[in-house]
């Protein structure tokens, strides 16, 4: 029996798990690229365990593969999968399909010490109606299965990235809650090559390199180990992908509208494809031509109807078609024939993106659009495993999916075409954040779109500094909504104050109310000017700072600050200082807080003083008195120099 030797990075991943769970029971994720040997990491963790372990995954192929790798150690494990016709729980380690386990919860009444979820990017947050949480559950109660229906044809295609609409089918939640009832201290570990989901972004909150991925609830708390795909390619652990843009015919899906889960309607795709039958034929002719010397070719079609058309242009005796409606027996037969290289072309619709292992695949043709980074990487991952006489994997995308395989853009969408990733140092903790931003022609940063520092800082005592729980996200905000009740800083989309819990005024409501008042004036601020004005004799001749806000048409509102009076210096800094510090940290490289103390200093800020998006004033007897300034506005009203 072949016994596998762990590679260096696989041993590092195992060590990271052991180190993490010695400190805390909070859930964790390991990120290893497709083809890196996640099943060996699982096998080693199971071998080291002293108590019972449950390994869950969503397809029988992965259940069988993980079980096989574990038994190479000369030990026996159980399989719990209806698809494999086995339901064993008597062993220390059980490899189970989530569907079978969730349907038979009463078979899991013994205490388990660890739950391992393979392909854990499929796990979602718990539905609100499933809330039988325990106080110490941490993030484990947040899990939800992707509800894989036995749907036919069209619905099956979209199940790859759609969130389940069947909240009562929250299978991961059910099995985790069951095991926690027996052992509240059970630990939870996920493994995936793609730690993000369409519509959610990152599936974890904190990264072990000291930064936050998300402030919102996520299925997992921590990423404790991550290995980039380029590392494995460079060291020849994976085959290098040869990414080629389609040089002839290609599909134009740019006019299609994505649904709520970010995918495209099969009906809309079929309608578009039916209008361009010649395009598909030309594409397949090129695939056949370029694949003449290739060993195994996988073609990913957009819909079932599209897949059938693709299949009709391929050599019949060398091709196979698999969809969600394909019988399991027939599917297994076709996959085995493909692995034996009796079939060269394998056409599929969203059913062979995970749990499929055919190392000889050396060409992939992508004929389906997607907005999912995860799905895109999973598709290409089918061709990156090592195999004899395989030098590279040719990848041709005929749909214009604009993803970077090595540096996928996850989380905040690109604000505009001019944006690029920029580094912004936090003035508080000095963490080097990466945000979307705009640089000038010389490469200097003009502005960025980051809201809050992503760095993690220690919040416990020196004795607790080594604990995972002692870290929290830096509270510095580059843009914020200030609470009028306590002065606390909040996210610009917040509806209540994090500090005093008072309800925050909606800026749209504020503008709407001001528009209704006859004695109110609103400036859609396009810029501001700073000037020195002479003080009155009653002010002992002291000069003042005059700020003039102007809109696109030249209309103006003014206010002044007397820097000889401490209360007005404080008022100026209360309005501008925090935002000014954030701007200076970007443009001047400063990492400290900045306060203005005199008029001469203030006048030098003409080009960098933060400009509000809206200024609201009320009519006094002889002048307009500014009541509110709205910074970092996001809402339904157009801002200056913005088209809507």
CB atoms within 10 A of CB 315: 10
Per DSSP, the residues of 384-415 read: -S--TT--EEEEEESS-----SSS---SSPP-
Torsion of CA 121, 127, 128, 132, to 10 degrees: -100
Kindly give the pairing relationship between strand 220-226 and strand 204-207: parallel
Q: What's the confidence (pLDDT) of residue 537?
A: 45
Q: What's the confidence (pLDDT) of residue 254?
A: 64
Kindly give the pairing relationship between strand 471-473 and strand 527-533: unpaired
**Distance between start and end Cα atoms, the chain:** 67
Alpha helices in 264-327 (DSSP H): 266-274, 277-290, 304-312
Q: What's the confidence (pLDDT) of residue 392?
A: 92
Per DSSP, the residues of 553-587 read: TS-EEEEEE-TTSHHHHHHHHHHHHHHHHHHHHHH
Show the beta-strand stretches assigned E in 6-144.
28-31, 53-57, 78-81, 86-87, 93-97, 114-118
Domains recognised in the chain with CATH numbers:
8-234 (3.40.50.300), 240-397 (3.40.50.300), 420-473 (no CATH), 505-630 (no CATH)
Per DSSP, the residues of 364-376 read: EEE-S--S-HHHH
CA distance 91 to 106: 16
CA distance 360 to 248: 26
Is the Cβ–Cβ distance between 499 and 515 less than 8 Å? Answer: no
CA distance 10 to 18: 13
CA distance 162 to 337: 30
Which pLDDT tens digit goes with each residue over 517-575?
Answer: 888 999 899 989 999 987 654 455 568 899 999 998 888 999 999 988 888 998 898 88
CA distance 166 to 145: 10
CA distance 533 to 562: 10
Q: What's the confidence (pLDDT) of residue 363?
A: 95
- Mean of the pLDDT values across residues 258-269? 67
CA distance 379 to 246: 17
Q: How confident is the model at residue 149 (pLDDT cuts 50, 70, 90)?
A: very low
In Å, what is the CA distance from 17 to each residue of 30, 189, 289, 308? Answer: 8, 8, 47, 45
Residue 137 has pLDDT above 70, yes or no: no
Residue that wins the pLDDT comparison between 152 and 581:
581
- 287 closest CA partner among 370, 384, 399, 366: 366
- Mean of the pLDDT values across residues 113-132? 75
Beta bridge partners of 226: 31
pTM summary value: 0.68
Task: Annotate 255-272 with three-state secondary structure.
Answer: CCCECCCCCECHHHHHHH
Task: Annotate 485-500 with three-state secondary structure.
Answer: CCCCEECCCCCECCCC
Show the beta-strand stretches assigned E in 289-349.
296-300, 319-322, 345-348
Which pLDDT tens digit goes with each residue over 405-439?
Answer: 776 655 566 777 788 778 788 877 878 888 888 88
DSSP state of 144: B
Q: Quote the radius of gyration of the chain (alpha carbons, Å).
A: 29
Is the Cβ–Cβ distance between 525 and 613 less than 8 Å? Answer: yes
Which pLDDT tens digit goes with each residue over 267-287?
Answer: 777 777 777 767 888 889 989
Which pLDDT tens digit goes with each residue over 196-231?
Answer: 877 777 889 998 888 888 888 888 999 999 988 888
Q: What's the confidence (pLDDT) of residue 18?
A: 94
Q: What's the confidence (pLDDT) of residue 412?
A: 63
CA distance 26 to 9: 23
DSSP state of 83: G
Is the Cβ–Cβ distance between 76 and 1 less than 8 Å? Answer: no
Beta bridge partners of 297: 345, 363
Q: How confident is the model at residue 147 (pLDDT cuts 50, 70, 90)?
A: very low
- Mean of the pLDDT values across residues 133-151? 38
Q: How confident is the model at residue 440 (pLDDT cuts 50, 70, 90)?
A: confident
Alpha carbon 383 to chain centroid distance?
24
- 46 closest CA partner among 27, 67, 30, 32: 67
Q: Which residue has the tokens 């819990």?
A: 501
Which pLDDT tens digit goes with each residue over 49-94?
Answer: 889 999 999 888 889 888 988 888 888 999 999 888 999 989 999 9
Q: What's the confidence (pLDDT) of residue 166?
A: 33
Beta bridge partners of 443: none
CA distance 369 to 118: 26
- Mean of the pLDDT values across residues 496-506? 81
Residue that wins the pLDDT comparison between 584 and 487:
487
- Collapsing DSSP to helix, strand or coil, 120 comes out as helix
Is the Cβ–Cβ distance between 241 and 405 less than 8 Å? Answer: yes
CB atoms within 10 A of CB 611: 17
Phi, psi (degrees; rounded to nearest 5) at 430: 65, 25
Q: What's the confidence (pLDDT) of residue 639?
A: 87
- 434 closest CA partner among 148, 207, 190, 111: 207
- Dihedral (CA of 322, 328, 334, 336) sign: positive
């Amino acid at each position: 029996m072949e016994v596998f030797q762990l590679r260096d990075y696989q041993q590092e991943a195992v060590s990271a798990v052991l180190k993490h769970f010695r400190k805390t029971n909070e859930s964790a994720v390991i990120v290893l690229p497709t083809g890196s040997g996640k099943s060996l990491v699982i096998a080693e963790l199971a071998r080291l365990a002293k108590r019972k372990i449950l390994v869950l995954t969503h397809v029988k192929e992965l259940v069988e593969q993980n079980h096989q790798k574990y038994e190479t150690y000369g030990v026996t494990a159980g399989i719990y999968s209806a698809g494999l016709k086995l339901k064993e729980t008597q062993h220390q380690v059980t490899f189970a399909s989530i569907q079978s386990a969730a349907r038979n919860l009463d078979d899991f009444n013994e205490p388990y010490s660890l739950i391992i979820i393979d392909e854990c990017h499929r796990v979602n947050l718990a539905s609100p109606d499933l809330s039988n949480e325990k106080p110490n559950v941490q993030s484990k109660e947040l899990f939800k299965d992707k509800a894989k229906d036995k749907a036919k044809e069209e619905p099956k295609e979209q199940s790859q990235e759609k969130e389940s609409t069947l909240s009562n089918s929250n299978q991961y939640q059910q099995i985790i809650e069951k095991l926690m009832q027996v052992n509240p201290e059970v630990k939870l570990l996920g493994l995936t090559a793609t730690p993000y989901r369409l519509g959610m972004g990152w599936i974890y909150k904190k990264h072990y390199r000291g930064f936050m991925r998300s402030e919102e609830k996520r299925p997992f708390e921590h990423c404790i180990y991550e290995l980039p795909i380029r590392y494995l390619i460079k060291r020849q652990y994976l085959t290098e992908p040869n990414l080629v843009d389609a040089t002839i015919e290609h599909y134009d899906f740019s006019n299609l509208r994505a649904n709520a889960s970010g995918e495209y309607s099969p009906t809309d795709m079929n309608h578009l494809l039916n209008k361009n039958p010649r395009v598909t034929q030309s594409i397949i002719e090129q695939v056949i031509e370029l694949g003449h010397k290739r060993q195994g070719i996988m073609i990913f079609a957009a819909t079932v109807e599209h897949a059938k058309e693709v299949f009709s242009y391929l050599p019949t005796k060398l091709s196979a078609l698999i969809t969600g409606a394909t019988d399991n027996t027939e599917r297994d037969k076709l996959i085995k024939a493909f692995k034996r290289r009796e079939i060269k072309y394998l056409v599929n619709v969203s059913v062979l993106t995970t749990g499929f292992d055919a190392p000889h695949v050396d060409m992939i043709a992508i004929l389906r659009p997607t907005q999912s980074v995860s799905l895109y990487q999973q598709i290409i991952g089918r061709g990156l495993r090592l195999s004899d006489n395989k030098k590279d994997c040719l990848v041709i995308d005929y749909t214009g999916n604009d993803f970077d395989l090595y540096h996928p853009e996850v989380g905040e969408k690109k604000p505009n075409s001019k944006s690029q990733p920029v580094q912004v140092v936090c003035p508080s903790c000095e963490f080097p954040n990466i945000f979307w931003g705009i640089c000038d022609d010389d490469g200097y940063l003009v502005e960025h779109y980051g809201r809050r520092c992503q760095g993690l800082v220690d919040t416990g005592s020196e004795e607790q500094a080594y604990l995972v729980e002692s870290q929290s996200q830096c509270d510095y905000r580059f843009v914020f909504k200030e609470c009028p009740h306590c002065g606390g800083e909040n996210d610009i989309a917040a509806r209540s104050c994090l500090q005093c819990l008072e309800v925050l005024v909606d800026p749209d409501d504020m503008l709407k109310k001001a528009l209704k008042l006859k004695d109110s004036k609103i400036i859609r601020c396009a810029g501001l000017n700073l000037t020195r004005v002479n003080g009155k004799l009653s002010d002992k001749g002291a000069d003042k700072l005059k700020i003039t806000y102007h809109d696109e048409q030249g209309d103006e509102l003014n206010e002044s600050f007397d820097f000889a009076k401490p209360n007005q210096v404080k008022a100026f800094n209360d309005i501008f200082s925090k935002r000014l510090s954030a701007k200076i940290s970007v443009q001047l490289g400063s990492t400290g807080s900045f306060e203005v103390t005199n008029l001469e200093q203030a006048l030098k800020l003409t080009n960098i003083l933060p400009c509000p998006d809206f200024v609201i004033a009320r009519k006094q007897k002889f002048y307009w008195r500014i009541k509110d300034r709205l910074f970092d506005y996001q809402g339904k009203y157009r801002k200056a120099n913005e088209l809507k």
